[in-house]
Structure 1
Amino acid sequence: MSATSTMRVVLPPDIRARKGQLPLVVLTAYTTPGARLVDAHCDIALVGDSVGMVLHGMPSTLGVTLEMMIMHGCAVVKGLSKAMAVIDMPFGSYEESPQQAFRNASRLIAETGAPAVKLEGGVHMAETIAFLTKRGVPVMAHIGLTPQAVNTLGGYKVVGRDADAASVMADALAVEAAGAFSVVLEKVPMGLAGQVTKALNIPTIGIGAGVDCDGQVLVLDDMLGLFTDFRPKFVKRYAELGALADHAIADYAAEVRARSFPAAEHSFADVLKGKQS
């Protein structure tokens, strides 16, 4: 953002103040060009640890490192002029102790310029969230399906049905009391998500959690249809860029093989020997 710009970057207090107001719009971003696209329309650019699966071909988020999140966080912050960057704390970077969490969260913020981090967990992470927020680290919480606990949960399944509903509500109340400025609800039944949203004074941001949340988040590559074989129920595909890219690459390959590309307009003429400048 230039020194003469009148546009102000969104900050955690602004997000908290949006509770019950105009829904928050959140998309993931992992690169500077992606961040510029998100910045034009969204309130938050989430640098998700989903980058491991989306850009690095990992089978889950568990292999993502702190250094990867710093690298992608730096790239995203460079592409933003108004939307707020929030960076995921990767698996193993915060669970050991509040002190470990602070060391790594402070690195994420100091080295990327992002104003906030996100971490997974409810009641059992409340002490850590409180430790961070009391020391100047704004925290977005994440409950319901927590992908970093996929091995414990037994897969990417809906969380909060039947007897589990009380634990989701307890997690939500715990992260709010600990000082989180907002909370992501992932794959929570829509009725329960609505109840949680009404019970909290901080915004809820849903992903597969129904329309009653205070905002919504999707993975940018998912909603743009860059993956032709990945269609989660909770994702609406607003474009089919993967199919378009496939057709474009096929056309390029065909033209190269037919020697119709590059044509004259894509080439440079020879300079005649002895021609005067």
Structure 2
Amino acid sequence: MRFATYSADGNTFFGAITDEGAIALNDAFPDHASLYEVIAAGQFDALAAAAQARTVTHTDVTFDMVMPDVRRILCVGVNFPDRNAEYKDGSAQPKYMSLFPRFASGFTGHGRPLIRPPENHTLDYEGEVAIVIGKSGRRIAAEDAYDHIAALTLCNEGTIRDWVRHAKFNVTQGKNWDRSGAIGPWLVPFTDATQLDDARIQTRVNGELRQDDTLDRMMFPIREEIAYISTFMTLQPGDVIVTGTPTGAGARFDPPKYLVPGDVVEVSVDGIGTLSNTIEDEVV
């Protein structure tokens, strides 16, 4: 079963997504105003039970960012060996992973446009798998890390490349432009290690395959990401970790292939789905 936040009939709902349509679950969780709040309260498993007792409520929906009120999003940078080589600085695999925060305002939903700002046109794509924490923990052992995952989703971690170079020690500016990336379309419950260990991620721009790799080639596997991050902060239900993108982002072509209005970007992983977005210029 899949769970999403969506708009229909002028209102916002969270619920289950089926082949026939959406099943609104808001009224089944009166104490929780959003999908994020349900997960933060440790009620993710209850969503499926609630959906099974109901029928489709909407057949025409517009997807929103899957958890638009999520409080903490941590992203892992430069996490594939070929991606490290793209920097052409001669550096070996780093000892520790690179991390940076992103905020919910920087993301939109499946089927909605990514927004290219007028200040800079170096909007780039980064297809990634994102995990949603379902059980809190501090100093989680790598071998226990998967026990703390509730769900999987996809991310296009859109970046304004020129703005990640504005400062010496961080990339926050280039990573948090409003609606420059997307997370969705939905959450898929995490039930089996093969969902991650055997996963292949692909990103296409206008149908052209740009990124294609498997998660087992990550320099810092997802188990290690959870272990490392939980060393310095307590991971809480609803936290999102965006796990890293393969080689093939637009900035690394010569000349670069940045996104322009009218482009269509698709991020796909078997068993999770496809996250698709167009590109539009911001109206100011």
Question: TM-score normalised to the size of structure 1?
Answer: 0.24
Higher RCO (C-alpha 8 Å, min separation 6) = 2
TM-score, normalising length: structure 2: 0.24
By percentage of residues, which structure has more helix?
1
Higher strand proportion (structure 1 or 2): 2
